[in-house]
Amino acid sequence: MSRWEAALRLTGVGFFIGGSILLGVVLGLWLDSRFNTRPILVIVGLLVGIVVALYGVYRMLLPLMGNKRNKEKG
């Protein structure tokens, strides 16, 4: 993987983290306003967004870590 591909992947990771957390919070705010449960669903949405972001980052960076390990062995 070239340096440009790695840089683009890392840029995408940043947007993915921000988008996941923001989407969780916005969805939690909307559900809270709909069911009048403020702030419980905002907190749940935030936590779900963080979990989704961490899992997504792991899956996105796994190929980068695998390439580095392969280069060290070879």
Q: What is the per-residue pLDDT across 1-41, written as a single tens digit (0 to 9) for each?
A: 788 888 888 899 999 999 999 999 999 999 999 999 999 99
Give the angle 25-30-33 at the CA atoms, nearest 5°: 125
CA distance 11 to 61: 11
Residue pair 37/73 in contact (Cβ under 8 Å)? The answer is no
Q: pTM for the whole thing?
A: 0.83
Give the mean pLDDT of 39-63.
Answer: 95
Looking at residue 56, its pLDDT comes to 95
Question: Cβ-count burial of 20 within 10 angstroms (0-12 exposed, 13-18 middle, 19+ buried)?
Answer: buried
